[in-house]
Amino acid sequence: MQKQGSLSYHLKAGAVRHFANRRVCVSRRRGRSDIGGPVQANSAAAIAEIPTRLNTIPHERSTRVGTLLECVREMATMLCKRHGGKVKVCVQQSLGTGVFQGTPLALSGVRRILLQMDWGEVSDQIEIGQLGRDQIDDCQTYILISPQNITGHSVLPLISEMVDEAHADKKEIIMVNPQLGDIMSSGGVMSVRGRQERMDFISTFTTAYHFRLLYIGMGPYPIMGALRYSYGGEWHIYKRVDFKGEDGSPQELYDMIQASKQEPDSSIITAAFKSSKA
């Protein structure tokens, strides 16, 4: 029997993805209602981080793109049905110039997949775009898929001008799984100069949903637990417990061992796991 405060996952169940996708959508809606969406400053844009892959390696920028786009489709569908307007799903274009031009590996081919996706009953309300001020048009909401810096080029200027334009038009921007940390390069791009301004801009976004697996060291195995946050609630630390189901199949139970109002750092997470063993 599953006890209160636990998350029960069956490794082969598609319900896991559906549960996560619905949590993302509900959290975004709560944040939209509470902080007033695009009526406020840059803080109106929400960041949603989702479990795109059960064995994602934290320091690598790879995901199972099908799972990620499944969540984006569910979110976009909900938005279209709720406000009746258009939603533009944006994937960053190639950055840089000449031989230094490129697209992050995790986003390679994503735009082509989006164009081929079946958007169901809201297909006439979905548009596919990229990053930049010129993308703000008659759409009501803009979903940015995994925007991230690359060596020698920062994506933040494109996001910043896009947010400013959306704010002026009272529209909403949502970033899903952003990777906006600095990447050092020999050209001095994203160096110490200007770092505080970049960090200040990133901090203006409101986290709507966060979920990530917790490992010993850099991962990807063993998975020790998970960290979860839904807008308006607390940060929950879960410990993974393996067990056998009634049919003998392997299952997992993620037991909540600690809750906090602020995002816990590694020392707090480690202490929570040690206390759970006591």
Q: Can you give the pLDDT at residue 105? A: 75
Can you tell me which residue has the tokens 């940390």?
Answer: 181
CB-based contacts of 216, cutoff 8 Å, min separation 6: 222, 224
pTM over 0.85: no
Task: Give the up-direction half-sphere exposure of residue 11: CA atoms within 13 A in the CB hemisphere.
Answer: 12
**Pairing mode, if any, of strands 206-215 and 46-48?**
parallel
Q: From 82, 92, 133, select the one nearest 114 (Cα to Cα).
A: 92
pLDDT for the residue 236 = 93
- Which residue is associated with the tokens 């910043």? 160
Q: Rounded to 5 degrees, what are φ and ψ at 173? A: -120, 135
Encode pLDDT of 52-106 as tens digits.
Answer: 443 344 444 445 788 788 888 988 998 898 888 999 999 998 876 666 677 777 7
Tokens 């599953």, residue located: 2
The helix/strand/coil state of 20 is: helix
Residue 7's pLDDT is what?
55
Calpha distance 102→125 (Å, rounded): 30
> Are the beta carbons of 42 and 205 closer than 8 angstroms?
yes
pLDDT of residue 10: 38
Q: Do the strands 235-244 and 223-230 form a parallel or antiparallel pair, or are they unpaired? A: antiparallel
Name the token pair of 244: 């056998």
At 194 the pLDDT is: 60
Spans of the chain, pLDDT less than 50: 1-4, 8-15, 33, 35-45, 51-62
Q: Looking at residue 4, what is its pLDDT?
A: 47
Q: Answer yes or no: are the C-beta atoms of 140 and 82 closer than 8 Å.
A: no
